[in-house]
Amino acid sequence: MNPVTSDSFDDQVRRSALPVLVDFWAPWCTRCAGMEPAVREVATTFAGRGSVVTVDVEAHPELAAEHLVLSLPAVAFYRDGAVVRTLAGPRSAEELAAAFEEVLDGQH
């Protein structure tokens, strides 16, 4: 998992050659902390096939606003520089992996 900022978002997400899972979180969000192990597991599972990055919405509120993040945790999947799927609320590693597989397979 790689933290991204407003300055690095374009390079690490929009210009990525691989599909990207973007995990939006905040330090005060207990549900985000609870989902962190699942996000880490997905990052390991998809290494080399996809990328997993994190965005601290407290530090980068402009990215949260751009992605219409209204509640946390939230996840956006990017492929070819565009958002192709979003998920809101806590998710298991299995749910995140299934969604990422669909994105990789071009189903979203």
Domain architecture of the chain: domains with CATH = 2-104 (3.40.30.10)
**Among 4, 26, 32, 103, which one carries the catalytic annotation?**
32
Cβ contact 84:103 at 8 Å: yes
**Mean pLDDT across the stretch 88-108?**
92
Alpha-carbon distance 87 to 67, whole Å? 11
Residue type, 106: G
pLDDT in tens, 29-86: 999 999 999 999 999 999 999 999 999 999 999 999 999 999 999 999 999 999 999 9
What global pTM score does this model have? 0.95
Check if 29 is active-site: yes
Lowest mean pLDDT among 1-5, 30-34, 46-50, 89-93: 1-5
**Among 13, 20, 29, 57, which one carries the catalytic annotation?**
29
